[in-house]
């Protein structure tokens, strides 16, 4: 199974064009880099147009074909990110070229570090180094070296995007709790000022503590007003 990280990588670097075009190597291409050599039932040509849904379908079919084509050539145990990086590479350079690559040879020899670095070698089209291919190879290498489960951890860390459950009382609001703490702290500081200071310093400290306490009360009042308006 091809994971989402692989599909996203391919989509990012292939881009999606619904009208046929010639790639830097001069090959007619359409959708997410789909060519006739993908054998998904289409032969892109000048003037050809497809829909977005077609592009997604051809991408899925092509990725699955490339995955099936290169799988028998891999003789070592491989995880989903390593396999995804190889599928993306093969999707771009062709399964035949991939099977002859030093990336595959090093991997099958058990040297994953050399295999990862060998991915970077495929950065030319028409004999010229292309910045887009340099970036793509770097992304494929990064995916290859990414431990499986890293994406799941990112999802856990992004759990803050899930809306909080509705609160039952105003005091469950973090704003109200912070305001209450601020007000109590200000009162405590004022008491300390009375006992520890004298004269002008005492007055200045009391005025400052009073301002802090009033600000906290105002914040809590505003939160109560929003609560009454339905913002919970």
The answer to whether 59 and 32 are in contact (CB under 8 A) is yes
Active-site residue, from 12, 14, 140, 172? 14
Q: Where are the alpha helices (DSSP H) in 76-198?
A: 80-93, 95-99, 102-108, 112-119, 131-145, 150-157, 174-196
Based on the residue annotation, tell me whether 80 is a catalytic residue of this protein: no
The answer to whether 148 and 79 are in contact (CB under 8 A) is yes
Kindly give, in sequence order, each residue whose CB lies less than 8 Å from that of residue 2, ignoring residues fewer than 6 positions away. 63, 64, 67, 83, 84, 87
The answer to whether 144 and 116 are in contact (CB under 8 A) is yes
CA 7 to CA 80: how far, in whole Å? 12
Which has the closest alpha carbon to 84: 132, 38, 140? Answer: 140
**Residue 231 burial by Cβ neighbours in a 10 Å radius (0-12, 13-18, 19+):** exposed
Active site residues: 14
């Amino acid at each position: 199974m091809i994971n989402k990280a692989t599909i996203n990588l391919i989509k990012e670097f292939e881009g999606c064009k619904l009208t046929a075009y010639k790639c830097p190597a001069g090959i007619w291409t359409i959708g997410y880099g789909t060519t006739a050599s993908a054998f998904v039932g289409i032969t892109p040509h000048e003037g050809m147009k497809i829909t977005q849904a077609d592009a997604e379908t051809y991408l899925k079919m092509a990725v699955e074909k490339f995955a099936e084509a290169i799988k028998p050539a891999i003789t070592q145990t491989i995880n989903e990110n390593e396999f995804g990086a190889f599928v993306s590479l093969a999707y771009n350079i062709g399964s035949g070229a991939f099977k002859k690559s030093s990336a595959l040879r090093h991997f099958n020899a058990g040297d994953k570090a050399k295999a990862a670095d060998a991915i970077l070698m495929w950065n030319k089209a028409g004999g010229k180094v292309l910045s887009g291919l340099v970036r793509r190879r770097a992304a494929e290498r990064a995916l290859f070296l990414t431990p499986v489960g890293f994406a799941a951890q990112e999802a856990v860390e992004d759990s803050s995007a899930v809306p909080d459950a509705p609160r039952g009382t105003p005091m469950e609001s973090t704003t109200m709790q912070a305001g209450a703490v601020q007000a109590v702290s200000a009162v405590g500081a004022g008491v300390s000022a009375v006992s520890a200071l004298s004269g002008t310093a005492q007055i200045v400290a009391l005025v400052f503590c009073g301002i802090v306490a009033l600000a906290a009360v105002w914040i809590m009042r505003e939160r109560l007003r929003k609560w009454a308006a339905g913002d919970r």
